[in-house]
Structure 1
């Protein structure tokens, strides 16, 4: 029995009834070859970034426009973009930054003893405005809600659930609990990322103290059980607060008077932590922010981690 191959030349010398099927097969062959020729380009166009590629990947996130000399130009009015972990933008791997002199994560001492809030009962909490160890003092200041979305820059920005994130920052006077205000433990807390890789903290807008751009510290751990010392952290980094929001808070809210002068003397470029970061890194590390001094601010950032 003779077998016909769609990819071989059709036989000739047959009747019209026999040739019509062969003519149809030839047309099908041409269409298939045309599709195959375009196929690699179509496949490549449909693929997202999956590797680390210099710290960026093209799938998820929240970013904000920042320059090395002045932060975002619209920090007080820009709205947070989608932080659900869906594929809608790009994510950037966060750079490692110092945990500073006031981490209270078991890596340094305060008043002659090692301070490790990570092992204290009650540190896992969303609202971090109140002290929780030996005091119940509530830190005063402009309301700030911070949502962080943790994503894997080595897996097309997929959300990372079950990770622990520890955040801490100074109060509106520029002081840190357990150190420069040793009796307090406010403005520190841990949350575990949900299925979307998200955690949310309710806190206050931190001050600007001399020599530093306004910032929030954070450490990321693989799980809550490993979040017992900063030495176990997968990432130690900082968030740079948007310039416009800083200006609005410091000039418009009570309790921040010292920040006005301090903020006028610092830029992202001159800051000893953020000054050597690229514009892409700074954009990712500066949360989007919306709100007002009277109503408070809602902020969001996507934290890229290479896992």
Structure 2
């Protein structure tokens, strides 16, 4: 209806008597009531649709993709994490960022120091062990430091975070002085070991809190293999990554300058954000790559984290 015709109707409806006016008013009231009913109905449908679109149920999984290029002993990796969410929208498991194995892996990918008994500890009898503090090649020297018991739970990030049994995890790191066995310390073989995940997808290692060496935030290395046979052949790792030691734990442990010489001063000059490995990871990746610690320097620490694998 145009403005002009609407104006003409308004003029024509005047002065037709009370009965006409009452009838017109009743028709207008009924029309308004129908409009209100329709509006209420539309609002209810919209409300129910909004409720139905919430995260009260279902499972969402995003896949990870990554690419790695290696030159010499340096590896550069680009990785997108995988996150699985369960009902309620809470994060259940995340695939850590793929990281370099570094220059000291002793997994056959490079050559250990001259005089070292092997460049591939994974193929040596005795590598499968829970307590990785003693040497297992040539001697029985035990690495000293603040005791740490760490449990990694390996799960399938693409299958509702189901535990992965029968997977093998190789864990290694530096000693309290920041030195690596078979490289900085050619005659030592401690702080390296392999464990196989149980029915719950878990492996547990007894070790020490690693020291801090110049230029790196305190960390541990690990590789995950789909079987022990693959691990002890030194090939076919499905994930190579690193774990960061929480800053509060580092500060407490490194306060003992006798047990951890130079670690406190080295730690003061590094951070997660400035670290060349951890610095470019997402917050979700760093959450899984930084285990949860409990305990104390005197009593020792326990640590746990859940590692997602995009199977």
Same-fold call, TM cutoff 0.5: yes
TM range (shorter): 0.7 to 0.9
Question: Is residue 300 of structure 2 the alignment partner of residue 296 of structure 1?
Answer: yes
Residue 155 of structure 2 is aligned to residue 144 of structure 1: no
Contact 2:84–2:91 (Cα < 8 Å) also in 1? no
Give the aligned partner of residue 172 of structure 1: 176
Corresponding residue for residue 55 of structure 1: 82
- Alignment partner of 1:269 out of 269, 273, 281: 273
Q: CA deviation at 1:238?
A: 0.2
TM-score with structure 1 setting the length: 0.75
> What's the counterpart of residue 200 of structure 1?
204
Q: Is the 8 A contact 2:293 2:302 kept in 1?
A: yes
Q: Which residue matches 2:105?
A: 103
Corresponding residue for 1:118? Answer: 122
Asked if the contact 1:116–1:229 (Cα under 8 Å) also holds between the matched residues in 2, the reply is: no
CA distance in 2, matches of 1:234, 1:127: 24
TM-score between the two structures when normalised by the length of structure 2: 0.74
Give the deviation of 1:137 after TM superposition: 0.2
CA displacement at 1:148 relative to structure 2: 0.1
Q: CA RMSD in A?
A: 2.3
Query: SS of 1:289's equivalent?
Result: strand
Cα offsets for 1:47-95 (capped at 9, x unmatched):
12244375211149xxxxxxxxxxxxxxxxxxxxxxxxxx985211111
Q: Secondary structure at the match of 1:195?
A: coil
Contact kept, 8 Å, 2:61 with 2:83, in 1: the verdict is no
Partner Cα distance (1:262, 1:254) in 2: 15
> Equivalent of 1:162, from 159, 163, 166?
166
Residue 73 of structure 2 corresponds to residue 46 of structure 1: no
1:148 is paired with a residue of what secondary structure? strand
Q: How many Å separate the matches in 2 of 1:227 and 1:265?
A: 36
**1:1-307 alignment runs, 5 A limit:** 41=52, 45-52=56-63, 55-59=82-86, 89-112=91-114, 115-252=119-256, 254-307=258-311
Deviation of 1:177 after TM superposition, in Å, equals 0.6
The alpha carbon displacement at 1:230 in A equals 4.7
Deviations 1:2-57 (CA, angstroms, capped at 9, x unpaired): xxxxxxxxxxxxxxxxxxxxxxxxxxxxxxxx9xx98x949973312244375211
> Which has the larger Rg?
2
What runs of 5+ residues in structure 2 fail to find an aligned partner? Answer: 1-44, 65-80
The 8 Å contact of residues 113 and 184 in structure 2, kept in 1 or not, is answered as: no
Q: Secondary structure at the match of 1:234?
A: strand
The answer for the alignment partner of 2:34 in structure 1 is none
Query: What SS does the aligned partner of 1:109 have?
Result: coil
Task: Count the aligned residue pairs.
Answer: 245
Classify the secondary structure of the residue corresponding to 1:106.
coil
Structure 1 residue runs of 5 or longer lacking an equivalent are 1-33, 61-86
Cα offset for 1:169? 0.3
Contact 1:251 1:257 in 2 (8 A): no
Partner secondary structure for residue 207 of structure 2? strand
Please list the CA deviations of residues 111-169 of structure 1 after superposition, one character each: whole Å capped at 9, or x if unmatched: 35860000111110000000011010000000000000001111111111100000000
